[in-house]
Amino acid sequence: MRKRTEQEWIRLLKESKELDPDPEYVRKTREKILSEARKSPSSIRKRSWKTIWPTIMAVCLAAVLAITVLNYQVPISQPSSPTSSHPEPVSKPIQVNKDTEVFIYNTHSWESFETKKINGYNRKKNVQTVAKSLGHYLTQESVPTTIDDTNYTKLLMEKDIDFQDSYELSRKSVQKAVQAYPKVQLVLDIHRDDTIGKKEKTTIKIDGKNAAKIQFFVSNTHPSYEENLKVAEQLDRILNKMYPGISRGILKEDERPYHDPVSYNQDLHPGALLINIGGVENTLKEEERTTKILATAIKHALNEQ
C-alpha cells in the first residue's frame, strides 16, 4: 500500500466532515478529567514543598547572618586632642585598686638588662618586667598595688618627642594616680643603673645566689624634698637590716635652685621615689630575687607608718 503524502493528508482533512463523538465516550472522558482534577492539589502541594524548601533554608541563613552583623559593633577611633603639646599616655593600668597604697610606673620603660650597652633598650627584658614582678610580690604581701604599664619610650618614638621630655609624659600619669588613689603611700619609678663593666657594683650574694642591689635617688629641686628623703632613708635602713649591703644607699642630686622643673615627679607626692634595681648587666632572675626582698621591705615600712 502506497503511503500518502503530506499534501494528500491535508486535503483529506479539509474535505472530511466535522467529527460527532459518541456521547458515552464524552461522559467517561469528562469523569476522568474531573477525577484527575480532584487529585491535583495534593500533588501540587508536594511538588511545591520540594520546590520552596531550599528557598526557605536560604532565607533563614540570610537572617542569621544579618543578625550577627547587626550585633557586631565596629570600634570607632576617637581623635586625639590637639590642645596639648604632649599626648596623654595611651595605656591603662594593668591592675586597678581603689585602696592602692603603692603605685608603680616606668618613665624609661625600655631600660634593659643582660647587655653591655649603657643605653641598651630591649622590648622584653626591661624595667617594666621588673615592675610587674615587684607588683606581684607586693600583692602576695597583701599590699594593695597598682601598676601603670604605659610604655613611655614607645610613645616618645611614635610621637617623635625628645627623650628629655619623658618625665613630662609620666608626670601626667602620676598626677592622675595621686588623685585617683587617696590612700597611696609610695609612688615608685623603677629604673636600673647604667654602669658598665662593674657588675659587682650592682650585684650581691644572698643565700648563695646573685641578686641585684638597690639604689634610691632623691631630687632636691622642690621645697618638700626632705619628705621624700625620709621615705628613702626608711627603706634603705629596713633593706640593709634584712640583708646587709643590698641597698647601695641614697643618691642625692647636687644642690640646684628650686625653680628647676626637673623633679622626677617627686614634688607630686612625699612618697615618690626613683629606684634603681640592679644594672644593665644583671639578669632578670637576679632582678626578680630582689623585687621579692623589696616587697617585704615595703610591707615593713608601711606597717611602721
Please count the structural domains in the chain: 1
157 falls within a domain: yes
Q: Are 221 and 268 in contact (CB under 8 A)?
A: no
Beta strands in 184-297 (DSSP E): 186-193, 203-206, 209-212, 214-218, 247-252, 272-279
Output the pLDDT for position 93. 46
Output the pLDDT for position 159. 86
Output the pLDDT for position 305. 77
CA-to-CA distance for 184 and 101, rounded, in angstroms? Answer: 4
Q: Are 294 and 136 in contact (CB under 8 A)?
A: no
From residue 25, alpha-carbon distances to 17, 33, 36 in Å are: 19, 12, 17
Output the pLDDT for position 277. 97
33 falls within a domain: no
CB atoms within 10 A of CB 196: 14
Which residue ranges in the chain fall short of pLDDT 50?
A: 9, 13-14, 16-19, 40, 42-49, 59, 64-87, 89-94, 255-260
50 falls within a domain: no
Output the pLDDT for position 122. 72
Grid cell locating 93: 593600668
| CATH code for position 218 | 3.40.630.40
What is the separation, in whole angstroms, between the first and last Cα of the chain? 134
Please choose, from the candidates 77, 79, 105, the residue with its C-alpha nearest in 3D space to the C-alpha of residue 184: 105
124 falls within a domain: yes
Structural domain span for residue 156: 102-304
Output the pLDDT for position 82. 32
279 falls within a domain: yes
172 falls within a domain: yes
> What is the bridge-based pairing of β-strands 272-279 and 214-218?
antiparallel
Please choose, from the candidates 151, 148, 126, the residue with its C-alpha nearest in 3D space to the C-alpha of residue 135: 148
194 falls within a domain: yes
Output the pLDDT for position 35. 61
84 falls within a domain: no
pTM of the full structure: 0.68
